[in-house]
């Protein structure tokens, strides 16, 4: 029976058509790039000498051996991944899906059920770790068997009231407990969004107050704790054009509640020995997020083992300058600081806001400037790691940045077993880079969002919007998956012939 099915001309013809489609769509696209805002930083700063970022490095990671790269993936999962990536690369499909999800059609019960079911068995299964903690645990153990670690993310964000923040707090604490229940290596860190545990309106108010104090140092903020620098001379301050009023008593109470929520998560992570990675957001909220991050890090990062990791978005023009200011102050205070380096994820909203106010964009004027900034920041942070300072998570889907960083780490003697360096990619994306880095001996984490499908939809919509350019032009995974699928089919046919 099996032989007749495998030798069926129709089955073979359909499979060959599928792989030809993958190849044709991949070859028709430009070379791989990170034109999406998933990666980092800005202009070179003369006081830091780094290796030229435009020089092609000697390959440290092998991204050509598709058999070795995908050796841990069963054929069915490989086939499904290739199909989902191919579908996600078709922009009209993404546009239509986003239109449906944001339309009033979702208010109709039957339509909503059909749409959610479709999403669950396609994009959700590809880009998310599951709905329940049991499903997440299965996913984490599976990727760990493939040599990767999990960055656990209870995928909730943007909350408007304290009740919602309290519910989200319980979800994050559950995530820490889940990570504690796993062996030490599978879960490398916990990701948290401050917008999920602090009302958005309060974060905006705090950001306004912090910006105004930077403009006028005599402006008193009685609630402000010891903190690293939040702004640099090139930071955008146009969000706050008028002197803000002090926090009201009700806002001060909400502010204290928000601090207690973050403190509770941080304490749980510290007791479990699991780093807490705080995500970045739009620039109109980022000052308050940096304040929460740095004030908490000062109190909890000890003994050269950072618990709290802040996020640097390299597509911002002030990213490198702020990174230098923070590390300098952290060293002065004797605080080991952890950083996650990304390119950035809010390009569209940042441009719209700056344009509406008549100000220059806070993001770099070209993708190459962003690449240069990311690579320069990565080199700087790697040198700090080599000197024993802090920790770094290099989150990138860009192959060149991955190669540069891997080569730099190797030359600095940072390699296998060094827990202070980790590379990271989103679950379901850039698998070839993830496996290539892991095969080269580096720690690699996959960002694993999870939660009920309807709660994770905002995350999926934002990822679809942010990554549409990358999904349509980043062809490496689809090319390699197609080659590996054809190789497996060919071997299977020959084995039963």
- The winner for highest mean pLDDT among 68-82, 285-299, 479-493 is 285-299
Per-residue pLDDT tens for 2-50?
433 334 444 344 434 444 444 444 444 333 333 333 343 444 444 333 4
The answer to whether residue 183 scores a pLDDT higher than 50 is: yes
Q: Which residue has the tokens 């304040």?
A: 291
H or E stretch at 325: helix 319-333
- According to the model, what pLDDT value does residue 284 have? 94
- According to the model, what pLDDT value does residue 23 have? 44
- The dihedral through the CA atoms of 429, 397, 148, 59 has a sign that is positive
The answer to whether residue 64 scores a pLDDT higher than 90 is: no
CA–CA gap between residue 496 and residue 406 (Å, rounded): 42
The residue with greater pLDDT, 203 or 478, is: 203
The answer to whether residue 90 scores a pLDDT higher than 80 is: no
Q: What confidence category does residue 176 fall into, taking pLDDT thresholds of 50, 70 and 90?
A: very high
- The dihedral through the CA atoms of 462, 468, 470, 474 has a sign that is positive
Task: Report residue 283 as tokens.
Answer: 């620039």
Q: Which residue has the tokens 């792989």?
A: 19
Task: Report residue 68 as tokens.
Answer: 């070795």
> pTM for this structure?
0.81
CA–CA gap between residue 54 and residue 367 (Å, rounded): 13
If you average pLDDT over residues 128-157, what whole number do you get?
90
- According to the model, what pLDDT value does residue 198 have? 97
Task: Report residue 133 as tokens.
Answer: 């903690």
Assign domain 39-474 one CATH number from 3.40.50.720, 3.20.20.220, 3.40.1260.10, 3.40.50.150: 3.20.20.220
H or E stretch at 196: none
The residue with greater pLDDT, 451 or 101, is: 451
- According to the model, what pLDDT value does residue 59 have? 55
- According to the model, what pLDDT value does residue 460 have? 72
Q: How far lies 63's CA from each of 69, 431, 488, in Å? A: 7, 10, 18
**What is the average pLDDT score of the chain?**
82
- According to the model, what pLDDT value does residue 100 have? 73
CA–CA gap between residue 252 and residue 194 (Å, rounded): 17
With 0-12 / 13-18 / 19 or more C-beta atoms within 10 angstroms meaning exposed / middle / buried, residue 150 is buried
Domain ranges of the chain: 39-474
- According to the model, what pLDDT value does residue 347 have? 84
Per-residue pLDDT tens for 273-286?
899 999 999 999 99
Percent of the chain residues topping a pLDDT of 90: 53
What is the full DSSP assignment across 393-443?
EEE---HHHHHHHHHHHHHTT--TT-TTEEEEEETTS-HHHHHHHHHTT--
The residue with greater pLDDT, 212 or 92, is: 212
If you average pLDDT over residues 337-350, what whole number do you get?
91
CA–CA gap between residue 270 and residue 264 (Å, rounded): 10
Residue 46 phi/psi, 5° resolution? Answer: -55, -30
- According to the model, what pLDDT value does residue 4 have? 37
Q: Is beta strand 391-395 parallel, antiparallel or unpaired with respect to 308-313? A: unpaired
Q: Which residue has the tokens 């062996």?
A: 183
DSSP-assigned beta bridge partners for residue 281: none
């Amino acid at each position: 029976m099996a032989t007749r099915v495998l030798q069926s001309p129709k089955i073979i013809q359909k499979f060959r058509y599928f792989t030809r489609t993958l190849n044709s769509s991949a070859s028709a696209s430009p070379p791989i790039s990170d034109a999406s805002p998933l990666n980092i930083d800005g202009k070179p700063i003369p006081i830091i000498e780094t290796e030229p970022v435009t020089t092609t490095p000697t390959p440290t990671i092998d991204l050509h051996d598709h058999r070795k790269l995908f050796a841990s993936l069963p054929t069915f999962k490989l086939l499904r991944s290739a199909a989902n990536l191919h579908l996600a690369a078709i922009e009209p499909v993404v546009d239509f899906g986003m239109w449906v999800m944001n339309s009033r059609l979702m208010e109709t019960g039957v339509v909503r059920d059909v749409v959610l079911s479709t999403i669950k068995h396609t994009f959700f299964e590809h880009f998310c770790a599951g709905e329940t903690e049991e499903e997440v645990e299965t996913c984490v153990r599976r990727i760990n068997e493939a040599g990767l670690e999990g960055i656990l993310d209870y995928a909730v964000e943007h909350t408007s009231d304290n009740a919602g923040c309290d519910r989200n707090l319980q979800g994050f604490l559950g995530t820490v407990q889940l990570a504690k229940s796993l062996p030490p290596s599978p879960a490398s860190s916990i990701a948290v969004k401050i917008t999920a545990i602090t009302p958005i309106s309060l974060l905006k108010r705090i950001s306004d107050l912090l910006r105004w104090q930077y403009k006028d140092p005599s402006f008193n903020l009685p609630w402000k704790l010891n903190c690293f620098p939040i702004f640099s001379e090139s930071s955008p301050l146009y969000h706050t054009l008028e002197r803000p009023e002090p926090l009201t008593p009700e806002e001060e109470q909400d502010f204290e509640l928000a601090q207690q929520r973050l403190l509770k998560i941080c304490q749980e992570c510290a007791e479990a020995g699991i780093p807490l990675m705080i995500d970045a957001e739009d620039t109109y909220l980022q000052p308050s997020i940096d304040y929460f991050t740095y004030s908490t890090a000062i109190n909890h990062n000890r003994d050269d083992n950072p618990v709290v990791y802040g996020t640097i978005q390299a597509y911002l023009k002030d990213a490198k300058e702020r990174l230098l200011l923070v590390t300098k102050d952290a060293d002065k205070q004797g605080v080991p600081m952890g950083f996650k380096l990304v390119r950035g994820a809010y390009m569209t909203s940042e441009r719209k806001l700056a344009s509406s106010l008549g100000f220059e964009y806070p993001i770099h004027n070209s993708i190459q400037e962003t690449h240069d900034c990311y690579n320069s920041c990565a080199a700087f942070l790697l040198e700090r790691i080599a000197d024993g300072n802090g920790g770094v998570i290099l989150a990138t889907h860009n192959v060149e940045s991955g190669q540069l960083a891997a080569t730099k780490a190797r030359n600095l003697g940072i390699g296998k077993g060094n827990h202070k360096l980790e590379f990271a990619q989103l679950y379901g994306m850039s698998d070839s880079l993830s496996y290539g880095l892991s095969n080269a001996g580096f720690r690699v984490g996959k960002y694993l969002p999870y939660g009920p499908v309807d709660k994770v939809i905002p995350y999926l919509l934002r990822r679809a919007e942010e990554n549409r350019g990358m999904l349509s032009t980043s062809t490496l995974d689809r090319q390699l998956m197609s080659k590996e699928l054809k190789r497996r089919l060919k071997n299977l046919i020959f084995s039963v012939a």
